[in-house]
Structures are given as structure tokens and as C-alpha cells.
Amino acid sequence: MIFDPVYLVVIGIGMLLSMWASARVKGTFAKFSKVRSGSGLTGAQVAMRILQANNIHDVKIEPIKGNLTDHYDPRSKTLRLSEPVYGSGSLAALGVAAHEVGHAIQHAEKYAMLAFRSWWVPIANTGSGLSMIVLIIAAVMGGAQAAGLGAGLALLGVALFATTTVFTLVTLPVEFDASRRAMLSLEKGGIMPASELVGARKVLSAAGMTYVAAFITSLLTLLYWAYRLGLFGGRR
């Protein structure tokens, strides 16, 4: 399988997309990390202000080590901001902080796609852990073109891998909606003027491309396995 040219093309496209998206988000974040906001507020302060403006008073804000490790934990209602975001007043920091608060607002408002993604996480984790084992065994046994167990394993393996593709798909509206909420909060809260919003928007747009790249890579891999195992005219 490792010498299958179709497989190599799929992996190559996935790697190139991931590298491009990662380089873009790191470069954009680094660029706007050097531009300070006129508000004088830090990422943590902006996060607190937006939370209060949305009547959310039960979310904690904590610093976390690393770069671009920012996230919102709905289980403990904790907003964790990386060190370059928590105490920085740059356009990049404020944009990222506002984005993570966007997830807290989604949680408070019971945003359906966020709730579904949280519910789907254990399913995707199980599918991710088992899919490659089942897919490889199915390929060895002849896939969908073989009678009996091989055909059944082919369907099972693709279904298991599809759980991760669904997760990457559902992540797109969740992340884009959080960014939309972030920009509205920064604008309506008077935290950033229009000239600064441009920089924050570029940072969030670059970050969004990482999720697009993840979905495309997962979808291409899913289609490859469906083809490889003969589920729609592929070969054994």
C-alpha cells in the first residue's frame, strides 16, 4: 500500500495543505503580534470584558504554556489563553482571545453545532483509534470485492474513519462562528477601531484555514480508502 501512487498523492496533498495552513497562521500571528492595540488591554482583559458584556460570569480565565495553545474547555468552563495571548495587548492576542470567548458564548447559548461536536468527540476518538487497523486488515483480505469478512471489514473500516471526517466537518461552522462572534464583540464593544479589526480578522482567517486543511485531508483520505477497498469501483 505504501507504494500505491494514489495513496502517495493523497498523503502529499494533505501534508502540503497542513504545512501551508500552519505556516500561514504562524506567520500572520507573528506579524500582528508586533502591532499593539490602542485600547491598552491585554488578551485576558479583553476576554473578561467580552464575557461580562454577554452576562457570562461563571467562566474562569487561566494562562497556559505554549504558543497557539489557546482553547475553551466547556467541561470546566475555563478559558485557557497561551502566554503570548494572555498578557499581550497585540492585535493578534486580542483577536485570539476574543475567538476563544466566542466558544464560551456558544456554550452559554447552547449553540447546536458546538454541542454536537462535544458529543461526537468520543465517537471520533474511537473511530480514529480503530479505523486504520480495520482498514489494513480489510485490504489484506480483499476488501469489498471479496466475499464475507473482507467486504464487511471494508465497510466497517470506512465507517470508522468517517467519524473523524465528520468531526473535522462539524468543526468548520463551530470555528467560523466563534470568529464571527469575536469580530462582532471587538467592534460593538468599542475595543478595536476598524483599522485594527483588519489585523485581528486576518489572524482569525489564517487560523480558520488550518481547520479547512484538516477537513480536506480527512475527506481525501476517506475517499482513498473507499476507492482502495472497492466500495465505488476501486481495485483490490
Q: What is the pLDDT of residues 90-137, one digit of tens each?
A: 999 999 999 999 999 999 999 999 999 999 999 999 999 999 999 999
- Mean pLDDT of all residues in 191-200: 95
* Residue 202 pLDDT level (bands cut at 50, 70, 90): very high
CA distance 56 to 78: 12
Q: How many other β-carbons are positioned within 10 Å of the β-carbon of residue 201?
A: 18
Known catalytic residue: 100?
Answer: yes
Is pLDDT of 233 > 70? no
Q: How confident is the model at residue 176 (pLDDT cuts 50, 70, 90)?
A: very high
Start-to-end C-alpha separation, the chain: 11
- The structure's pTM equals 0.90
Mean pLDDT of the chain: 93
The confidence score (pLDDT) of residue 151 equals 86
Percent of the chain past pLDDT 70, that is, above it, reads: 97
User: To 5 degrees, how large is the angle CA 153–CA 9–CA 3?
Assistant: 65
- Helix or strand holding residue 130 (H, E): helix 112-140
* Euclidean distance between CA atoms 214 and 222, whole angstroms: 12
Among residues 62, 100, 109, 196, which one is catalytic? 100
Contact 144, 231 (CB under 8 A): yes
> What local confidence, expressed as pLDDT, does residue 236 receive?
45
26-50 mean pLDDT: 96
